[in-house]
Structure 1
Amino acid sequence: MDDCCQIAESELASLHCPLCHQKGKRVQLITLKALLTPSALQSLDPQLSYAFCSNANCTVVYYCDQQTFDKDDVKVPVFQKDGAMGVPVCYCFGWTRERLMEAIRENQNPVQYISEQVQADRCGCEVNNPQGSCCLGNVTTFVRSIDA
């Protein structure tokens, strides 16, 4: 499996979300195939390139010039778009906001744990994380917000 925490140069190209006009990041087709609901997957055009919209105030998750997929089209809650405590921040290893807060209260270091798992090539962010890339940035940002 490719290192999911490394973004290929070709994946850095961005598009603008047709709903909120925020710049998004391209995602691999495997991400959409893994995370779209069966009904949404039926309308996926594998010949198109899709991007991920991280804007919390936008309902669009994936988009291209011809098509959009909203939060309801994704099998899992999307961290960037759902503020609930039970929503995963790290999809591969099951770290929710709630679990991260608990670990910090118990003086554990979830960022180090997740980093070790990534280095051991155990993550599968491209098929588990709706953003299609490594969650460590999200985890680190969330943990810092707890400490603040």
Structure 2
Amino acid sequence: MSLLEQLNQDMKQAMKNKEKDKLIVIRMVKAALQNEAIKLSQNELSNEEELTVLSRELKQRKDSLLEFKNADRLDLAEKTQAEIDVLVKYMPEQLSEEEVAEIVQQTISEVNASSKADMGKVMGALMPKVKGKADGSLVNKLVQQQLS
């Protein structure tokens, strides 16, 4: 089942269950996917393009959550956390830190990286492998640790 079909099904269920907050998030994600399709002049997005849009939406909310917590706006932080919880359900299963560390080590070996100067090469080869499955800041931290 494609992501759009899943969103439509969940949207109907949210309407039936009168889950207003969930419905708002699903509609927001659908709109973001449709906007991306229009931007790329396509009728349908590939799975990878859908994942990119979902990742972007999730990252925006995580950044907002951090800002709201720093500003002691707990009301907005709670609302944003609820949106994150809905979005996470549509993301692929996240890799553990150990799994990411293993992929990082393999990639460093593949590109023959030896110092922090090779960080760009490593990240360029690594990010497509873990796209949507691992947080970029975690990947960055692990690469820096292994290259130092």
TM-score after normalising by structure 1 = 0.30
Larger Rg: 2
Between 1 and 2, higher relative CO (CA 8 Å, sep ≥ 6) is seen in: 1
The structure with the greater share of residues assigned to strand is 1
TM-score after normalising by structure 2 = 0.30
The structure with the greater share of residues assigned to helix is 2
